[in-house]
Amino acid sequence: MFWVYAALAVSLVSFFVAAYFYNWVKKLPTANPKLDEVGALIREGAFTFLRREYRVLGLFSIIVMAVIFLFFPQPVWAGAGVGKNLLMVFAYLCGTVLSALAGYVGISIATIANLKAATAARESIQKSFMAGFRGGAVMGMAVIGTSLAGAALIYIISRDADVIMAFSFGASSLALFAKAGGGIFTKTADIAADLTGKVELGIPEDDPRNPRFDPRYRDVPEAELPRTESLKQTIERALPYWQCVIFPELSVHDEILVVAHGNSLRGIIKHLKGISDAAISELNLPTAVPYVFEFDDKLRLVKDYFLGDPEQIRKLMEAVANQGKK
C-alpha cells in the first residue's frame, strides 16, 4: 500500500504545481486590448468545439458503460452477481470524467498561454519560452495528477486489477477520441479559413490568379497548392500590427528587428516611404538581406538602406524580380 499512497502524494504535488503554473501564466500581461479580443474569439471557438465533442463522447461513454455492465467481468445473467460489474462501470466512468477534466484544463490554459507567450516574445525569447513551457506543463501535471489519483483511489476501493483496467480504459479511450476529434477540428478550421476569403471576395476556382495556373507550381499536387492573399490584403493585415505594436516600441527600444514574409515587409515599407500602389510592385526585396530604417527622436524616417555589398544586393534583387518568368 505504500506505493498507492505515494501515488496519491505525487498526484497532490502535481495538482499544486499545475495550479501554480496556471496562475503564473494567467497573471502575465497581454500586449493590448486588440490581442485580448482576438484571444477571446480563439477561446470561444475552442470551447465551443470542446463542448460539442464532449457531448458526443458522453453518448459513447454511456454505450460503453452499458456494455461493461452487461458483459464484464462476467455476463449479468451468469448468476455471479452484478457487484463487480457495477464497480467496473464506476471505474470506467471515473476514468472518462478525469480524462475530460484534464482536457478541459488543457484547452483553458492553451488559449491563455498563446496570448501570453506572444506578448512575452516582445521582450525576450526566454520569457516567451517560459510562458509556453509553463502553460504546457499545466496540462502535463493535470494528466499525471488525475491519472495517479484516480488509479490509486480505485485500487483502494476495489483491490482488483480488472477494475483498475476499466479505469484505464475509460481514461485512454476518451483521450484517444478527443485527440482524433481535435485533429479533425483544426484541419477543418484551416480549410474554412482558406475558403472564407474565396467566398467573401467571390473568387472562382478558374480565376487566372489561381496558383494551379502558375508554371512554378506545375509539379505541386493541387491539394497542396497555396491559396494566398494579394499584397493589398497583406498590407491590410500587417499594417495594424506595425502601427499598434511595433512602431510604439521604437519609443522604448533603440533597435528593433522585424523578421517577416516578403509581402508583409513590403507593406510596411510602402507605408513608411509613401510608395504608390503602382510602384510597390517594382520593389523587390532580396531574401535575408537586412534593410535598415533610421528614425529621429520624433520617430520620423531619416534614412533607409540595405546592409551589404551594393552590387551583390542588386543581383539578389534582380533574382527576385526574375522569379516566375521562366
- Identify whether residues 62 and 142 lie together within a single domain: yes
Is residue 224 situated within a structural domain?
Answer: no
- Asked if residue 209 is part of any domain, the answer here is no
Residues 161 and 248 in one domain: no
Helices (H), 159-261: 161-201, 231-241, 247-249
Residue 214 lies in a domain: no
Residue 175: which residues within 8 A CB-CB, separation 6 or more?
99, 102, 103
Taking residues 17-34, what's their average pLDDT? 91
* Same-domain status, 136 and 264: no
**Final residue before a domain boundary, out of 180, 199, 218:** 199
Task: Answer with the residue of higher pLDDT: 34 or 197.
Answer: 34
For 292: left if phi > 0, alpha if psi spans -120 to 50, otherwise beta; the answer is beta
Whole-number pLDDT of residue 7: 94
Q: pLDDT tens digit string along 202-256?
A: 777 777 877 788 887 888 887 777 666 778 888 888 888 888 888 888 888 888 8
Query: Which among 179, 199, 219 is the end of a domain?
Result: 199
Residues 67 and 19 in one domain: yes
Residues 148 and 259 reside in one and the same domain: no
Same domain, 55 and 174: yes
Nearest CA among 43, 156, 58, 39 for reference residue 99: 58
**Run of H or E residues at 294:** strand 291-295
- On average, the pLDDT of the chain sits at 87
The answer to whether residue 264 sits within a structural domain is yes
pLDDT at 207: 79
For the ranges 63-72, 238-247, 254-263, the one whose mean pLDDT is highest: 63-72
Nearest to 175, CA basis, from 60, 88, 73: 60
Instruction: Identify whether 215 is part of a domain.
Output: no
Same domain, 185 and 118: yes
Domain boundary among 145, 177, 199: 199
* 283 lies in the same domain as 193: no
pLDDT exceeds cutoff 90 at 136: yes
Radius of gyration for the alpha carbons in the chain, expressed in angstroms and rounded: 28
Give domain status of residue 212, yes or no: no
Sign, Cα dihedral of 203, 192, 220, 267: positive
User: Which residue type occupies 15?
Assistant: F
What does the pLDDT average to over 31-56? 87
- Nearest residue to 25 via CA among 161, 102, 173, 129: 129
CATH code where residue 317 lies: 3.40.50.1240
Within 10 A of 148 (CB to CB), how many other CB atoms are there?
21
Q: Looking at the 3D structure of the chain, how many domains does it have?
A: 2
Are residues 183 and 96 part of one domain? yes
From its phi and psi, is residue 134 left (phi > 0), alpha (psi between -120 and 50) or beta?
alpha
Which residue segment(s) compose the domain that 302 sits in? 231-321
Whether residue 192 sits in one domain with residue 236: no
| In contact, 170 and 154? CB cutoff 8 Å | no
Q: Are residues 152 and 285 in the same domain?
A: no
Among 290, 295, 320, 317, CA closest to 306: 290
162 and 288 housed in the same domain: no
Q: Mean pLDDT across the stretch 100-118?
A: 92
Among 8-17, 78-87, 317-326, top mean pLDDT goes to 8-17
Q: Is residue 211 part of a domain?
A: no
In angstroms, rounded to a whole number, what is the distance separating the alpha carbons of residues 166 and 235? 55
In the chain, the N- to C-terminal Cα span, in Å, equals 74
In a domain, residue 35? The reply is yes
Phi/psi of residue 302, nearest 5 degrees: -105, -45
Give the type of residue at 162. Answer: D
- The residue behind cell 503602382 is 278
Q: Strand, helix or coil at 301?
A: strand
Q: Is residue 162 a contact partner of residue 154, using CB atoms and an 8 Å limit?
A: no
